[in-house]
Every structure is written in structure tokens, then in C-alpha cells.
Structure 1
Amino acid sequence: TDLYTQEEKEKLAHLIQRNTKEEVCLISAKTGEGIRNLKELLARSIPEGYGNRMITGDLVDTGDLVLLVMPQDIQAPKGRLILPQVQTLRELLDKKCLVMSVTTDQYLSALENLAVPPKLIITDSQVFSYVYENKPKESMLTSFSVLFAAYKGDLLYYIEGAKAIDTLNENSHVLIAECCTHAPLKEDIGRVKIPRMLKKRFGEKLDVSLVSGTDFPDDLTKYDLIIQCGACMFNRKYVMYRIDKARNQYVPMTNYGITIAHLTGILEHVALP
């Protein structure tokens, strides 16, 4: 408004309001007058539910059939489900989806007993390859870890980071970054399975380090790749802090599910929210 007289401001505001049928907010860049009104107007204009990120994004909607493949192995708490499974299941129920949950050994039987193929199959990343090889052609496939890569982090950055896997060699240094802390488990996905997959491809001399909890190095430049867990125990703000830290030091970063999908050659076939 600093460029106009009071009469000009009133005429212009009236003209804009008449032509757009929208409320007009006059502000001054010099004095800040009207800024508070602008903020209040913007706040009132925000659509209901804006900013509420969804785990499954736009992959499924009301009435869609979703099959969850959830191995209940040593990594699953006895008598309980792990947090990503619980959160995903709850969201699907809120979306009024039809949900069927099975363990890996009942996967084929479940498909045989369904009248129609599921719209979406969500699997644990460690059985990605098996589920993909046996899925119906019509069904989309993703994993809990891939969904959480988008929900908690930057999915496109993770996918771009996965390309760095192909540039690794036996002299490379990889950092596995877990967010939760737990006692080492047999066949642990971050401590055992992913390092084994990497070393099988690039050699046993490949250096794989691991940090857990809030332990995350300030200097990341010695690493050729960072592989982040699904971060179900941390909020998105903290995960984005890690991502920005890696990005600012030009170190590629990806996550568990994206890594496994890339290593098994099915990433391009995975449904992304």
C-alpha cells in the first residue's frame, strides 16, 4: 500500500474484491501495518486437515482391499505388533479400507482365498522379493519402510541416494543409522541383513558402521552412503534434520526399505505414496 494514496488504496481494494469475490488485505512493507490481519486471513483460509501427513498417501481410498504381510519373527515383540504396522493398520481402518493381515507363510493362501486381488500389498521389507515374485499383476506393492520413508523423511531424496549403492566398492564406508535402541537380535535387518546384502555384492572388506538412538555423527564426509531406518520412534522434524545434515555435506542417504528394494532390483516396481 506504500505506493498509493488512501483514495487509490480504497478503490483498488474494492475493485479486487468485486472481481475476485475474495477478502482483500491491505499491508504496508514499510510499517508492517496489515501483516497481523494477513496472518489471520491465511490461518482462516487453511483447508481442514492441511498438513496432516498420511502414511499411505493417496495409494488407497475408501473400500479398497489392502493386504498386509507381517512376519512375526524374533524382531516382533511377543504378543504385540511393531509400531509402523499398528500406525498403518489404524490409518487404513480410518480410511474405511478393507484390511487383511497375514504372516509370510500364509501369504499365498490368503491370495488364493480372496475373491479379488488386493488394490495394495504392504509388506515387511525383509520379504520384499518373495512378496513381489508372488503378487497378482494388478496389485500395487510397497513396504512399511518405504511408506515411512515418505511419512517421516524425504522419499525422493532417499530414492536418489539409493543410486549411490551402485557406486560402492570394497573400500567404501557405509553408515547404518538406527533411531531406536535395542539389544542385537538374530537376523536383525539393520545390523545383519542389510550389511550382509551389501558385502555379498561388494566384498567382505566393505566397512559398515552402525549408530543407534540419537547418536549421529557431526562429520559425515567419511561415509559414501548413509542408510536410515524407518524412524518410527522419531518425529519427522528430527529425521529431516538428519537428511539436511547429510545433504549439506554432500553425502547420499537412503533408508532400509528403499535399499532392499534397490538391491533386489524391484524398486521401480514399488508403489510410492
Structure 2
Amino acid sequence: MTLNSTPNANRLHIALFGRRNSGKSSLINALTGQDTALVSNIPGTTTDPVSKAMELHGIGPCVFIDTPGFDDEGELGALRIARTLKAIERTDIALLLCEDGDCENEKQWISQLKEKNIPVILILNKADNRKDAAETANRIGESCGEQPLIVSAQTHSGMEAIRQAILEKLPADFGQQTITGNLVQEGDLVLLVMPQDSQAPKGRLILPQVQTLRELLDKQCLVMSCTTEKMAQTLQALAHPPKLIITDSQVFHTVYRQKPAESLLTSFSVLMAGYKGDIPYYIEGAAAIDRLTTQSRVLIAEACTHAPLSEDIGRVKLPRLLRKKIGEDLQIDIVAGTDFPADLGGYDLVIHCGACMFNRKYVLSRIDSARNRHIPMTNYGVAIAHLNGILDKIVYP
């Protein structure tokens, strides 16, 4: 993939935290070699977390997140700090800018970041304006337990040290996940069954389909595609049954009834669940569907913020399946995009989409939120397979 075609969800998310006017925006510009972020001497110039997709030399496609100062003041300042806290949920690596040896605020943020298992790189910026930079760095090191990198966004000194630190702090499994895992290998025949209904964008495929197809081609698999209506005809045209059939979760039952016995079956949503989330946790969470009653409350979470369609899977089809099993009085709340409740108390089950629009860190933070409250959580594809009684008959990475 080229830089511009790499989805943000597949990029390394690097967030910059620090006090107002500590040089976060200037540092992003220095690291990327472009005027990516708005820079001003006026404290509070960055009023909301701003994300920018860029290429970082030696690391690859990244998303830089420029956040407001965590020392912001007043009612609006509190709201901005709350937005900054939410940015933590999608952060893979944090650059924390320190100003002086008084690091009480910084230590609190270091603690919050490390609680989320986010690697932290301490930075002392504006070295060109500091006569006592080395001494200040030592005081920060003593206070925070880690020596900061001494850099200057103005002169671009220390940028290579930051890049090297990012490489060293990269999560061990970052970029190692694959969508199809070990389900297929070179030479395997894979059939993609893709309904083209009102949900399918005219003239193009949805992102999970595109990403899965690209990975299968990279793996040198033999790929055949068809709509649900043409599945039987497609199977007849093949010399032998496909090793794997991948379809949309909404037609699981239809495809399962037609598939050859020797062919494995999964869905794009299930594959994305393994790619972005925690499949064993989702499977465990699906069992909670059988414990729901008409007094239960379910949260359905979508990553996309598209306008609802007449046969939308998250807003229409999945609620219909749930109410058919549990009863019409089942309470179902639906959220989209980043509108995910900070407190999941009161919910008996959370059902999340495949999250192709989110990075893995963000999805795992949502899973942790549910797990910490002992609330079952599952995924569209896993839930639909369970509701169709075929969860034990599908495969996942």
C-alpha cells in the first residue's frame, strides 16, 4: 500500500502530551518535516486533539495526535483535558513533553499512560533556549524515574533520537497481526461471498473486504468472488471446493447451508474481530445472549458514523435478531463513532462492530473497559453466528 492508501486504523498512533505552549505542535512539524500542526506562542492554540496521517522516516505510516495542554484552565479547559484523556485510548506510543524539574502533573500522566500499557518517551524540548538543559533533564530524570531526550524543534536537533526511541518502544506485536492468520496459505482457494445490497457502497467495496482481498493476494492465494445469489453457480464452476469461504455475517445462515462440507467458513466481521480485538473474549461474551431477558439492556457500538440505511446491520438487522430471540421489550442502545460510554454500568452485553475504522489499541481499550466492569462483550459476526446456531462451526484466526 502507498502512504495515502494506508487506512488510519492500520497506522502507528503517536500522541504528544504536555503543558500548554510546551512545543508539541512544533515537535510534530519537526519530526515530519512539514507544517503539519498549527504553531503559536499563545498558550492554548491547540484546543482539541488533532490527528494527522504522515510518514515517519524509518518507521512508516503514522498518525500523529496533537493534544491540548493538560494544564488548561477554566470550564473549557476541563472539557479539553477530557478530550485529551480520550486520546489516550487510541495511543500506541506517547511522547510526553516536560518543561522543568517540577513534574507532578507529568508524573500523573505517566502513571495513566502506563496503566494503559502505553510506552512513554519523555522529552525536554526547546533546548536552543535553555542554558541549563542538561541540569533540567537530570532533575526530570530523578523526579520521573526516566531520563528525557533533550531536543529542539526549532533547530531540529534530537529528531533522530526520538525516531530511534519510537522504534525501541514499538509494541512487540505491532504490525504482526494479519487478518486471515493461519487459516490460509499460498495456493489455497478462497471464495469471497459478498452481498451487494443497500448497505454496499455503489461502485466500491467496503474496507474489510478490500483489506482481506489484498492480504489474500499478498499471500498468493487463489481468490474467487461472488454475490450470495451466485454462490451455488460459482461453486459449480470451481474445479474443487474452496479451502475457505469468507462472507458477510448477515448472510451466515444462507452461506452455511450451501457451503461444501470440507470448506471452512468465517466472515469479514469475525476476521476483523481477531485482527483488532480479542476473539476468545468475544466468543465468551456471545454466551451472554442466552442469558438475556426482556429486562436486559444491550449496547451496540459501531465505529462508522454513516447515515442509517433501511437494512443496516447494526441498527436494524442485529436488533431484529436479538428481539426475535429475547422479546420485543429488550432495550437496545446504539452508539456510533467515538461516542462510547465512559461507564458501561447498567448494560448486560456490549456488541461491537468489526471496528475496521479504529486502530487495535482503541478497540482493546474498549474491551478493557467492559472487562473491568465484568460486562460481557462480543462482536457483530460472533453474535450473529451464535444467534444462527453455527458459532461452533465457523473458524477464526
User: Is residue 2:196 matched to residue 1:59?
Assistant: no
Q: What corresponds to 2:293 in structure 1?
A: 169
Correspondence list, 1:129-140, <5 A: 129-140=253-264
Instruction: State the secondary structure of the residue aligned to 1:185.
Output: coil
Q: 1:146 aligns with which of 270, 291, 295?
A: 270
Runs of 5+ consecutive residues of structure 2 not aligned to the other structure? 1-145, 147-163
What does 1:1-273 align with in structure 2 at a 5 Å threshold?
51-273=175-397
Q: Deviations over 1:169-207 (max 9, x none)?
A: 111000000011011101110000010011111111000
Residue 17 of structure 1 corresponds to none
CA distance in 2, matches of 1:81, 1:74: 12
- After TM superposition, what 4+ stretches of structure 1 lie above 2 angstroms from structure 2? none
Deviations 1:103-140 (A, max 9, x none): 11110000011110000000000000010011001100
SS in 2 for 1:126: helix
Q: Which amino acid aligns with 1:91?
A: E
CA pair 50-210 structure 1, distance change in 2 beyond 3 A: closer
CA RMSD in angstroms comes to 2.1
Structure 2 residue identity aligned to 1:78? K
Q: Structure 2: how far apart are the matches of 1:129 and 1:163?
A: 18
Identity %: 68
Q: Give TM-score, length-normalised by structure 1.
A: 0.82
By how many angstroms is 1:50 displaced?
7.3
Secondary structure in 1 matching 2:386: helix
**Matched residues in 1 for 2:325 and 2:231: separation?**
29
- Relative to its length, the structure with more strand (as a share) is 2
SS in 2 for 1:230: coil
Which gives a bigger RCO, structure 1 or 2 (Cα 8 Å, sep 6+)?
Answer: 1
Cα deviation, residue 51, structure 1: 4.4
Distance (Å, rounded) in 1 between the aligned partners of 2:252 and 2:212: 17
Normalising by structure 2, we get a TM-score of 0.57
Unpaired segments of 5 or more residues in structure 1? 1-31, 33-38
> Residue 176 of structure 1 aligns to a residue in which SS?
strand
SS at match of 1:208: strand
- Which residue number corresponds to residue 27 of structure 1? none
Count of matched residue pairs: 233
